Structures are given as structure tokens and as C-alpha cells.
Amino acid sequence: MLQVKQITKKFDKEDAVKSLSLSVKKGSIYGLLGSNGAGKTTLLKMIAGIYRPNSGEILINDKAAYENPDIREKIFFIPDALSFYPQATVKQMAGHYQYFYKDWNEKRFEELQKVFKIDLNRKVQRLSKGMKRQVAFWLALSTMPDFLILDEPIDGLDPVMRQKIKNLLFQEIAERNLTVLISSHNLREIEDICDHVGIMHKGTMIIQKDLDDLKSDTHKVQLALKDPSHEEHLLNKLDVLHKEKRGSVLLLIVKGKEDSIRKAIKSTELLLFDLLPLTLEEIFIYEMGDVGYEIENILL
Ligand SMILES: Nc1ncnc2c1ncn2[C@@H]1O[C@H](COP(=O)(O)OP(=O)(O)OP(=O)(O)O)[C@@H](O)[C@H]1O
């Protein structure tokens, strides 16, 4: 279990991450979403032990991660901007990781060559962007990590390779209880693979929930009132995240379970009523709107 407790990170005088808490259960995939500059990379780098928080603590299986080299060795971070030794071949990079990671698994490395099919003698810096990312996953999985921290992991990967890597992650989760924390702007990908989601804005976590709960907690409602003067009364009964009017039709994004929304609306006479679930992308946009991120007229 990964527990982040009230961590803050300042750059100069600005808080990049403010008193943020989060917990990720063993064997789960947690998707970290957020606006540009929200502090996602800074948070991941603190968890990976690259930045030291100004305050707060990061615990892995109840032990302080930063001070504990054995724990830090079981966390593997694949950053957004990859870096390799300038002249190193894939084989030499593997040798480097073998030296530094005591659980390096040579057999696993050889098995994974069948997936990645990249010549071991090629210089990593001369590989394409997507191939470099494949090498990063290849090396990461060969260190047999307990925690994999991924910053924009699919950038540059073709759809077939994306699927292969997803399958590898699912396999590691099923067989070894690997825990994965992913930061991404690709919400479809997050929706597809994550079981838990957190949304960050301006250094804080504005919402974190089980993905299924999050999706059943917000709905898109389209309605037309028989008597338009009842609009305010109706809206007061709903937790409205966003409202738009198109002629006499009201388009609403409403927080709450389907049953409670239907119940709140029941006593109002309507000419039209439609209730639809939201995609994660839509939930993200309206949650951001709720905290003051400008989202005028983008009802999807
Ligand atoms: N090394 C640094 N020195 C100074 N400020 C930094 C540094 N790294 C990040 N910041 C600042 O911290 C804030 C959060 O940045 P961060 O990279 O964590 O955001 P992010 O959520 O990953 O953004 P994006 O989605 O755009 O990649 C930003 O205001 C950024 O300018």
C-alpha cells in the first residue's frame, strides 16, 4: 500500500503541491489526472524519491519511502522525458540496471525481448521515440518492481504496442500484485485501465474515487419544463456542476446517483427528460469547471 500524507513541495515560494494526501492499494492501477501545471509530475517525483517534500510523509507498506533504500529500490519511475546514457546500447543499459537493482531478473529481460523485439546492440539514443519508451518499459519490468510510477506513459507508442504493454501490466498485477500509478492526459486510456482516479488542480487533489463510483456519481441531464417558471425551484433540488440552455431545453451536469436525480425531478412536470452517464473526459471537464477552470459552452 502506498500512502501519501499531507505532502507539500515548494519551488521558490510557490507551492507546486499543497498538503496533498492519496492512497493506492496494492495490486491496483491509480490514474492521476489534472490541469497543466497541477503538480502531477512533482508528486510522482516525490513518490519516486527524486524530490524531497518540504513537509508530510510518503509511506510504502507503512515504512517511510524516502529514508528506506530497500523500499525505494522496489519503486520504478518512468518519466515523461526519458534519459539514457549517451552512447549506451540496450544491452549496456540492461547491465547498468542489473548492477543497481538487486532483484533484476535476467530471465524476464530475455523473455521480454520476444515482446519488444529490439536489437540488444542498438544504441538507445538513436532509437525512435516510441522504441525508447519500449526500452524503458522493458528495463523497468526486468527490475521486478513492486510499484511502477508512470508519467505520460503511452506518449509515442503505437496502438499495438500500447495494448501489449497494457497486457504486460495486467499480467504483472495478476501474478505479482504490482501496483501502478499513472499520470496522463489521455483520459480514454485511464478510463480503460485504471480502477481508481484522482484529479489534481493547482497543487491539490480535488477529487479521488473508485472509477466506477465516480462514473455513477455524475450524470448528464437534458430536460424541458412544462412551466419554465419552475426552473429555479428544480435547480435548487439538484447538485448542478454545469448548466447550459438551448432554447427551452436545459442541459445539466448533475452530481448524484441516477435514482436520487430521478427522485428530485419526479414532482416537476416535464416535456422532455433524458439522463445519460458521463465519460471520464466529461467528468474531468466539469469537475475542473467546479473549481473555477474556465469551461464555458463546451457541453459535449
Ligand atoms: N524544477 C522546478 N523548478 C521550479 N518550478 C517547478 C519545477 N518543476 C515544476 N515546477 C512548477 O511546479 C508546478 C507544477 O508542475 P508539474 O510539472 O508538477 O505539473 P504537471 O501537473 O505535471 O503539469 P503538466 O500536465 O503540464 O505536465 C508548475 O507551476 C511548475 O512550473
Say yes or no: ipTM exceeds 0.95.
yes
Residue among 7, 41, 183, 199 whose CB has most ligand 1 atoms within 8 A, to mutate: 41
The CA dihedral of 172, 175, 177, 181, to the nearest 10 degrees, is: 20
Ligand 1 contact, 11 CB (< 6 A)? yes
Looking from the CA of residue 9, the nearest atom of ligand 1 is 12
Q: Going by C-beta distance under 8 Å and a sequence separation of 6 or more, which residues neighbour residue 121? A: 89, 90, 91
| 10 and 74 share one domain | yes
- Counting the structural domains of the chain, the total is 2
| 94 and 197 share one domain | yes
Q: How far is the CA of 31 from the centre of ligand 1 (A)?
A: 18
CA distance 251 to 222: 5
| 168 and 277 share one domain | no
For the chain, the average pLDDT equals 91
Q: How far is the CA of 190 from the centre of ligand 1 (A)?
A: 21
| 160 and 13 share one domain | yes
300 within domain boundaries: no
CATH of the domain at 50: 3.40.50.300
- pLDDT per 10-residue tile (average), the chain, 300 residues: 95 94 95 93 94 94 84 91 92 94 95 95 95 96 96 90 94 95 91 92 91 89 92 92 90 92 91 91 82 54
296 within domain boundaries: no
| Listed residues 151, 182, 212: the one ending a domain | 212
The pTM of the whole model exceeds 0.90: no
| 17 and 103 share one domain | yes
| 102 and 50 share one domain | yes
| 69 and 167 share one domain | yes
Q: In this predicted model, what pLDDT tens digit does every residue of 135-190 receive, in sequence order? A: 999 999 999 999 999 999 888 899 999 999 999 999 999 999 999 999 999 888 88
Residue 266 domain boundaries: 217-290
